[in-house]
Amino acid sequence: MVAQQLIKAAQSGDRDALITLLREIETHVYRTAYYILGNEQDAKDAAQEALIRIYTKINSYEEKAQFKTWVQRIVTNICIDKFRRTKATVSIEEHNMVFTSDNSVEDELMSSYVAKDIQEAIDLLPEHHRTVVVLRYLQDFSYNEIADSLDLPLNTVKSYLFRARQQLQALLQDYQKGGVRG
């Protein structure tokens, strides 16, 4: 079934269509929550909360926005609320990065350090900068989709991304000089 047909069926009360729809988006929802919150358990909680909200609010979805934008707004708002409630430092958990098998052990080790440092740098960004970076570079959203998801003007999204890139550049300046952070 095509997504629009699933959505319409779910809105008409077809429970199986709604469950199918939720299964199709659950990985996307979790991935977004994980990259915003940086913690597996918090991400699972936020993703579950988002899926429940989507389940209960499916009838409020209107075709004015794309479905993935509507879903993204829900999960992002839940993550932002969760982040604001905790205000604690987000722990960084190592996650498995997939690399091509052509790399040597040293290359893979260096790549894992680089990936860890990039994730740490993203975690250091202010909440609004981190969110737009996650949506743009990790979820591959367009500027317009980010603006719709976060209910922000397009120029604000562009400004946040510009500032976030500057901050990341400053945080990762050792890599530009050919060094590795310790």
Domains, the chain: 4-178 (1.10.10.10)
3-state secondary structure of 22: helix
The pTM of this model reads 0.59
Q: What is the pLDDT of residue 52?
A: 93
The set of long-range contacts for 24-27, using a CB threshold of 8 Å and a minimum separation of 24, is 25/51, 25/54, 25/68, 25/71, 26/51
Average model confidence (pLDDT) across the chain: 79
Cβ–Cβ < 8 Å for 149, 67: no
Residue linked to tokens 């008409």? 12
Q: What confidence tens digit (pLDDT) does each residue in 37-78 have?
A: 888 898 999 999 999 999 999 999 888 778 888 998 899 889
- Which pLDDT score is estimated for 104? 53
Token pair in block for residue 101:
């098998």
pLDDT of residue 89: 42
Closest by alpha carbon to 42, among 111, 91, 115?
91
Query: In whole angstroms, what is the distance from residue 77 CA to residue 46 CA?
Result: 10
> How far apart, in whole angstroms, are the C-alpha atoms of residue 111 and residue 24?
31
97 vs 71 pLDDT, higher one: 71
How do residues 150-174 score in pLDDT, each as one tens digit? Answer: 889 999 999 999 999 999 888 887 6
| Structure-token match 């994980």, residue found | 34
Half-sphere exposure of 135 (CA within 13 A, CB side): 30
